[in-house]
Amino acid sequence: MGRKSLYLLIVGIFIAYYIYIPLPDNTEEPWRMMWLTTQLNTAEKLAAFVELLGLHHIMDSLMFALSIYEVPPTSDENVTVTETKFNNILVRVYVPKRKSEALRRGLFYIHGGGWCLGSAASRYYDLLSRWTADRLDAVVISTNYRLAPKYHFPIQFEDVYNSLRWFLRKNVLAKYGVNPERIGISGDSAGGNLAAAVTQQLLDDPDVKIKLKIQALIYPALQPLDVDSPSYQENSHFPFLSKSLMVRFWSEYFTTDRSLEKAMLSRQHVPVESSHLFKFVNWSSLLPERFIKGYVYSNPNYGSSELAKKYPGFLDVRAAPLLADDNRLHGLPLTYVVTCQYDVLRDDGLMYVTRLRNTGVQVTHNHVENGFHGVFSFPELKIHHRLINQYIEWLKENL
């Protein structure tokens, strides 16, 4: 074997080693999954390296990389797409072109991205909004909101809430031909968090007379108190969303001070005076037995009060909807929850399903045994289209 052939063989082995990622046996299209994972891992590592050099914050670098996937608000043969502002928040509006004699459904959608990344202009969210508007014959509002690390909680929550309240005004609904009795809210990941949070907030808002008919939460992040549940342990290094990255997202939501992130990873961020909140996120009593799988619940290691005083947001129900008490949950609308087996956030969704059902809320739970976090953002995969179809069919039946 010549020297050139040997070098090529070595390079090939290193490339194969870098690309190959062990995946569960029930993974669909594993090689395509590996290729997508390689692209994401490369971007994340490069962004982390740039941050290590002190050049740019990791989230700023990732957002720059994601910006290449943004598309303009272009109408097509089925849907008219425009951009406007709802209470100074930039939104995209998707309206079916076919004539409708009746008022249409309305769906308010909130993109994910760990409160740091993403945009309504993303190609993936643009596609989802188009498909939903066309197939559901609905007006879809896809909202933006200001992002970390430049902005922290409660800015993201307030932007979404103010945008939603604007949409729910009678004159705005009339402008877009939306039936005020058929309005829903939806979001994925951090967007699912914001959807759950603003839906709870609406219950206590006397100025909003129009209420939501449904909420559809796609692998939502719902609490930062316990990041050591079985799903966090099982999927701590799983592609697309590792435990360390999710904790970084949570921490960035509240502050750029990395001491909060370190305390969260060591389970020492909650002070003893807030210990009563753990009953709302105690997975040993809220998870179905098959998801516990022999894991043993251990009491948290309480930290000092300093972090909670500096960054009280991580104990705020507006940031952690699972911390709502049962009286608050009882008034929530018909709910659809998607959870994925291979997702650190799986148990957040499962616990919310249990708590909602315990308070009498009607919940449809779609658990995807071979699903993973972010699957709604990968139209290259067959599983993506199957889940989108199930999501839209549920909306057709219930909204």
Tens-digit pLDDT profile for residues 221-276: 999 999 999 999 999 998 889 999 999 999 999 999 999 999 999 999 999 999 99
**If you ran DSSP here, which 8-state letter would residue 270 be given?**
S
Please determine, for residue 96, whether its predicted confidence score (pLDDT) is greater than 50.
yes
| Residue, of 4 and 352, whose pLDDT is higher | 352
Report the mean per-residue pLDDT for the chain. Answer: 93
Is 50 exceeded by the pLDDT of residue 197? yes
**Residue 87 pLDDT exceeds 70:** yes
Q: According to the model, what pLDDT value does residue 10 have? A: 44
Residue 70 · residue 123 · CB < 8 Å: yes
**Which has more pLDDT, 304 or 75?**
75
CA 187, CA 129: separation in Å to the nearest integer? 11
Q: What per-residue confidence (pLDDT) applies to 307? A: 93
Q: Are strands 138-143 and 104-110 parallel, antiparallel or unpaired?
A: parallel
Q: For residues 377 and 118, give the distance between their C-alpha atoms in angstroms, rounded to a whole number.
A: 11
Higher-scoring residue by pLDDT: 17, 31 = 31
Please list, in sequence order, all residues whose beta carbon lies within 8 angstroms of the beta carbon of residue 289, skipping any fewer than 6 positions away: none
The torsion of the CA quartet 333, 282, 111, 163, rounded to 10 degrees, works out to 50
* SS3 state of residue 311: coil
Average pLDDT over residues 112-118: 98
Span 158-175, average pLDDT: 98
Rounded to an integer, the average pLDDT of 159-180 is: 98
What does the pLDDT read at residue 13? 41
In order of start, what are the domains of the chain with their CATH numbers? 1-65 (no CATH), 66-224+316-398 (3.40.50.1820)
* Position 195 pLDDT exceeds 70: yes
pLDDT classification of 21: cutoffs 50, 70, 90:
low
Mean pLDDT of 365-381: 93
Catalytic machinery residues: 189, 343, 373
Residue 38 has pLDDT above 60, yes or no: yes
Name the percent of the chain lying above pLDDT 70: 94
pLDDT given at position 382: 93
For residue 282, pLDDT beyond 60: yes
Indicate whether this model's pTM tops 0.85. Answer: yes
Residue 294's pLDDT is: 85
Position 31 scores a pLDDT of 76
pLDDT at residue 216 is higher than 50: yes
What is the predicted pLDDT for the residue at 16?
A: 44
Say how far apart CA 334 and CA 362 lie, in whole Å: 5
Whether the per-residue pLDDT at 50 is higher than 70: the answer is yes
With bands split at pLDDT 50, 70 and 90, how would you rate the model's confidence at 4? low
pLDDT at 20 over 90: no
